[in-house]
Structure 1
């Protein structure tokens, strides 16, 4: 299969979602400054960071359907404009309440992007290519943190936190037009693609769709017990994942008073996270083992989080923060291979939609309760114990779900709309 689609689609989608993920990273870097300027508690700061995920829930399922029925390209274009404006609006707020409203609206706009891009990738990449396409695209998560944490720190030396929000809201507005004019929804619309390559790809996609299992809908997913196990596992993981991601900069800020240095130091754990994602996914594919490559990293993250509360050296703390980052991010690749192995093909698409939609609410509870514990105790310790417990429980649920993989090893072909949800 030709390489033109890999070079044309993946980089544009990568940068697009990297800019989206920036809004979940920069708020963590700016939290200490927001707390001081708005005179808010750590609990309120966690609420501001986490309320994004309440809005994020709204378009998770409708977004995939709309992208499938209408146009993923046009839908994401509109969402990029809306989230860029919402991100910039964060710099004009005057109160805690206003900031919560803007962050909620930002979550609504960004919530439709993930399912829409999955629709786009399903239109362009065969089942055998889709795992790699998703992996290359999802690598934008730690890369965004590596780049944006230092950038936010550098900008804080020149501007206040409000102006940083405004400045970092501009790139999505620009990239929206790059996305709109360079991407197409389907290979048949791509004038840049070699005709032979296009015909071969369309033939392969058509053959897959002819064999695809039709979705049984969300009613069947709601009745499937394993689906709710996946939802619980993802909720617990996202609680630890975003609680860690959004509060790490605040921990690092205790090492230094210089915002630029804080930004560069914050990038270190996420650099190791990227390496961990790549190595763990490769190793999981090589061993054809998914569960161990989810459970073990989560347990490592939980243990290193707890261990970090018993050391005082900034060097040791940074080391343990980096180990935690590896454990928290590494499951991303192998995790998504588990649902298709333990849930019937006609249910799996809807199950993935519920898993992503409801599970992401952990992104609210993690930062929120971390802040609550910080207010109650005056330190980060209790918050990290809470996040470690969430990750450990996620590992336990994953191990229990993994037992179902032995009962269903037959490969399943997902309907392309199911992939999107």
Structure 2
């Protein structure tokens, strides 16, 4: 599971790692991270499958209180965002395998505790703790890939572990519902806890020997270098422009995830029995976009341009959707939009790697991921408010188009440099 490709790239700039003709690229690294992201995504969404289960509601003592049920997801998202920003620096200080092992053990324990919980307040608390424990995952995965792969392979390596999100949604919801209907609500938590064991074994094998820096005791000079890199990061205009672009990027993702089925049914009059399978097509297109976008961009190495084209294409697709009437053309335009978004998903991390110092990879990734998820998570609520105010489903898509346009404008100064 280790060596699949020889890397003949020259030494990377800015301390990205020394890659010589003898250096081997270990594709087991992103595959291990993929398993981790899948597991974490299962843990995130397992609670959503329980919202309509009367036994779970009775156990929590809340009946069908949509506000309190929603808080179970919102509590996780808020703590996840805070943790991604505030704890991401741990990835720059603690060995990746040690940190990731500790995180996964905490996930496992928390899922077991949720399975035994019959108190709403305690369940909310455990969801908050789960968000804190999962927050550093994406920044850490970004840092590991950055230090383990040369730039001409980073988008493909990033794409491999990013696929954990769409694949996790495709597998996690049916799995959780089957467990719920077959064994009861507690089984969803216990099964996720059990899945931690094989994934942890895979991670221990796939990430062994991975280091973000050379194996040497920290010196005063290295500490000064890291401190200087952090200061450079916080005053970097380009870094903050990329972070704001990511807000627009994730606003699209959360908005589509929240409102696509409703838009097809209420906004376009597509019958409910058809919307089920039709609404899955754009997400399949998104996955294909991630794969193709990663491969093309690694060959061209124009990360900012790839992100710009991705977001512009997504906006154009949504604009077309609003002007079409037949179900097949609507889905085709929506699928084009999500495909184009998918093209940019692995490239935005590669763009971040180009624009930031390698010594603060986890810190940069944490701020980038945390801010994006904070703002992106508000997208469904903003779209809902706009739809209620205007009495038009199209107003939600217009909001996404405007955000995409803002993101594209922000990237204009970066196109030539990155």
Which TM-score applies when normalising by structure 2? Answer: 0.71
Supply the distance in 2 between the matched residues of 1:234 and 1:360 (Cα, whole angstroms).
9
Task: Identify which range, 282-291 or 231-240, moves more after superposition.
Answer: 282-291
Worse-superposed segment, 20-29 or 363-372: 20-29
Higher RCO (CA-CA < 8 Å; seq separation 6+):
1
Trace 1:202-241 onto structure 2 (pairs within 5 A): 214-215=225-226, 216-241=228-253
Cα distance change of structure 1 residues 343 and 70 upon mapping to structure 2, 3 Å threshold? closer
Aligned alpha-carbon RMSD (Å): 4.5
Q: CA deviation at 1:118?
A: 4.1
Match of 2:317 in 1: 304
Evaluate the alpha carbon distance shift between residue 313 and residue 267 of structure 1 in structure 2; reply closer, same or farther with a 3 A threshold.
same
Q: Where does residue 175 of structure 1 map in the other structure?
A: 195
Q: 1:219 to 1:185 in 2, by over 3 A?
A: farther
1:13 aligns with 2:33: yes
CA separation in 2, counterparts of 1:253 and 1:150?
22
Q: Matches of 2:252 and 2:163 in 1, distance apart?
A: 19
Q: How does 1:39-54 map to 2 (within 5 A)?
A: 40=66, 52-54=76-78
1:332 aligns with 345
Give me the whole-angstrom Cα distance separating, in 2, the residues matched to 1:385 and 1:277.
24
In the TM superposition, what is the alpha-carbon distance from 1:116 to its structure 2 partner? Answer: 3.2
Of 299-308 and 102-111, more deviation after overlay is shown by 102-111
The answer as to whether partners of 1:143 and 1:271 remain within 8 angstroms in 2 is no
Partners in 1 of 2:318 and 2:53 — Cα distance? 24
Structure 2 distance, partners of 1:185, 1:138, is: 20
Moved more, 57-66 or 395-404: 57-66
Equivalent residue of 1:3, what SS?
A: strand
Q: Structure 1 CA distance, aligned partners of 2:72 and 2:385? A: 12
Deviation at 1:132, TM superposition (A): 3.7
Tell me whether 1:135 sits opposite 2:147 in the alignment: no
The answer to which of 308-317 and 268-277 deviates more is: 308-317
Q: 2:396 aligns with which of 378, 383, 404?
A: 383
Q: Would you say the 8 A contact 2:115–2:190 is kept in 1?
A: no
Alignment correspondent of 1:356: 369
Cα offset, 1:280, TM superposition: 1.8
Q: Output aligned runs, 1:91-170, within 5 Å.
A: 104-121=128-145, 130-148=154-172, 151=175, 158=181, 163=185, 167-170=187-190
Question: Measured at CA, do residues 52 and 280 of structure 1 come closer, stay the same or move farther in structure 2, by a change above 3 Å?
Answer: same
Higher mean alpha-carbon deviation, 303-312 vs 218-227, is at 303-312
Residue 2 (1) aligns with residue 3 (2):
yes
Aligned length: 379
Residue 370 (str. 1) matches residue 383 (str. 2): yes
CA spacing shift, 1:238–1:312, aligned 2, 3 Å: same
8 Å CA contact 1:298–1:328 kept in 2: the answer is yes
Residue number in structure 2 paired with 1:248: 260
Q: Which moves more between the two structures, 291-300 or 395-404? A: 395-404
- Within the candidate set 88, 100, 103, 1:76 is matched to 100
Output the CA distance in 2 between the equivalents of 1:159 and 1:368. 33
Unaligned runs of 5+ residues in structure 2 are 6-24, 55-62
Confirm or deny: 8 A CA contact 2:89 2:362 kept in the other structure. Answer: no
Partners of 2:78 and 2:351 lie apart in 1 by 26
| Matches of 2:246 and 2:412, distance apart in 1 | 13
Distance in structure 2 (CA, Å) of the matches to 1:378 and 1:30 = 31
Q: Is the Cα contact below 8 Å between 1:290 and 1:338 reproduced in 2?
A: yes
> C-alpha separation between the residues in 2 aligned to 1:123 and 1:21?
24
- Structure-1-length-normalised TM-score: 0.71
SS at 2:397's partner residue? helix
Q: Residues 389 and 33 from structure 1, CA distance in 2 versus in 1: closer, same or farther, beyond 3 angstroms?
A: farther
Q: Do the aligned partners of residues 58 and 110 (structure 1) sit closer, same or farther apart at CA in structure 2, a change above 3 Å counting?
A: same
Give the C-alpha shift of residue 403 in structure 1: 4.3
1:359-402, CA deviations, whole angstroms, 9 ceiling, x for partnerless residues?
32122221221232344345532222212211221122122332
Q: Quote how far apart the aligned CAs of 1:125 are.
A: 5.2
TM-fit CA distance, 1:279: 1.5
SS in 2 for 1:308: helix
2:81–2:371 contact (8 Å) kept in structure 1? yes
Task: Give the aligned partner of residue 415 of structure 1.
Answer: none
> Does the C-alpha gap of structure 1 residues 28 and 286 become closer, same or farther in structure 2, counting only changes over 3 Å?
farther
| Aligned CA distance change for structure 1 residues 171 and 306 (closer, same or farther; 3 Å) | farther
> Helix, strand or coil: the match of 2:318?
helix
Q: Is the 8 A contact 2:80 2:131 kept in 1?
A: yes
